[in-house]
Chain A
Amino acid sequence: MAKKGDVVINIEKCKGCEVCLAACPHEVLALSNEVNSKGYHYTVKVNSGCTGCANCAVVCPDAVITVYREK
């Protein structure tokens, strides 16, 4: 079974560009209905399918995502 992972999203830094959504192989990420203080819809986790592959964090232009993976 694939390893389990998790992401921490710095929502205040997120610009809602959706580049991370397109990069996630498990459709874990989506944009929120709410906006941050700059008015951007930010990325949120919508399921527990994360494997900690870090694809989202690697393509995020604003270094918003921190990734964890079980040992």
Chain B
Amino acid sequence: MAENLIKPENLVYEKTKVLTDRVMHYCPGCGHGTAHRMLAEAIDELGLQGETIGVAPVGCSVLAYYYFDVDMTEAAHGRAPAVATGIKRVFPEKTVFTYQGDGDLAAIGTAETIHACNRGENILIVFINNGIYGMTGGQMAPTTLPGMKSSTSPRGRDVATMGNPLKITELIAQLPGTYFVTRQSVHTPGNARKTKRALKKALEYQKLNKGTCFVEIVANCPSGWKMTPVQSNKWMEENMFPFYPLGDIKVPE
């Protein structure tokens, strides 16, 4: 039993080299970190590190360019799909992704999201849906659930006065320009591994030039939701998944 297993030939899991060694600024237990790692592992396993260009959003993941060890740029709030469109058209041989929260992608950036998807730009859009504006203090987002509390809906979202949550992923799946649309999560080992498989598929499909691939990751925001990370993951399963069911929404024929 005293045998030392910690030697290189026994290594089965370590941080991918597509993530830098920087300590991420995210709150403890925040899904952004795991989502970053799954995307970085997908890029790593497909050998795409040298040819990938990412676009970071405005939101908690605004500093994503510090963490992904690939070429990255930063877009104005919500404009990542437009910036990615330009990059992909100038460098069609590169692998291009955006990484965006729900405030970025489904509120201020709705036009860019819908038109990039409708044009069928050959990019990957990674959409982190935590139902809230995390960075600015937990305000209501278009994706906030009916009855869900946020700092601007302290008694819960009342759809009669505050409108309905927007299922933007189902919406863009209707557009002819999208090729692969799926909704995943990263809160358990099994879900995280599935997310990586979906991201790998999406990156492989990009080589086919068939249109936009869109991977939603339903994620927690323990600080904005005012829960511990473990509580927030349970709350997500019980409340977010019934409204935002996991699984593929549009798959290539």
List residues of chain A with CB under 8 Å of any chain B CB. 4-6, 8, 13, 15-19, 21-23, 40, 48, 52-55, 57-63, 65-71
Say if the beta carbon of B76 comes within 8 Å of chain A: no
Q: Which of A15, A19, A57 contacts B13 (CB 8 A)?
A: A57
Name B1-50 residues within 8 Å CB distance of A.
1, 3, 5-7, 9-15, 19, 23-24, 26-34, 37
* Contact present for B24 and A68 (CB under 8 Å): no
Say if the beta carbon of B188 comes within 8 Å of chain A: yes
Chain B residue, CB-CB nearest to A8? B6
Given A58-B189, A66-B15, A6-B28 contact (CB < 8 Å): no
Chain B residue, CB-CB nearest to A57? B13
A-chain residues with CB within 8 Å of residue B33 when the two chains form the complex: 60-63
Given A66-B13, A67-B12, A68-B7, A60-B189 contact (CB < 8 Å): no
Given A60-B34, A70-B5, A15-B12 contact (CB < 8 Å): no
* Contact present for B6 and A69 (CB under 8 Å): no
Chain A residue, CB-CB nearest to B7? A68
* Contact present for B13 and A58 (CB under 8 Å): yes
24 cross-chain CB contacts under 8 A: A4-B3, A6-B10, A15-B29, A16-B28, A17-B29, A17-B229, A18-B228, A18-B230, A19-B29, A19-B187, A54-B13, A58-B13, A58-B34, A59-B34, A60-B34, A61-B28, A61-B29, A61-B32, A62-B23, A62-B33, A63-B37, A65-B13, A68-B12, A70-B5
Q: Give Cα A13 to B193, complex, Å.
A: 22
Q: Which of A8, A21, A23, A40 contacts B28 (CB 8 A)?
A: A40
Question: Interface size (B, Cβ < 8 Å)?
Answer: 36
Chain B nearest CB from A3 CB (Å) reads 10
* Contact present for A15 and B186 (CB under 8 Å): no
A-chain residues with CB within 8 Å of residue B3 when the two chains form the complex: 4, 70
Q: Which of B12, B34, B222 contacts A69 (CB 8 A)?
A: B12
* Contact present for B12 and A52 (CB under 8 Å): yes
Apart from A59-B34, A66-B13, A70-B10, what are 14 other A-B pairs with CB-CB below 8 Å?
Answer: A6-B5, A15-B27, A15-B28, A19-B233, A23-B189, A48-B1, A52-B5, A53-B189, A55-B189, A61-B29, A62-B24, A63-B37, A68-B12, A69-B12
Most buried by B among A5, A6, A63: A63
Given A66-B11, A67-B12, A68-B10, A59-B5 contact (CB < 8 Å): no
Chain B nearest CB from A68 CB (Å) reads 4
Chain B residue, CB-CB nearest to A48? B1
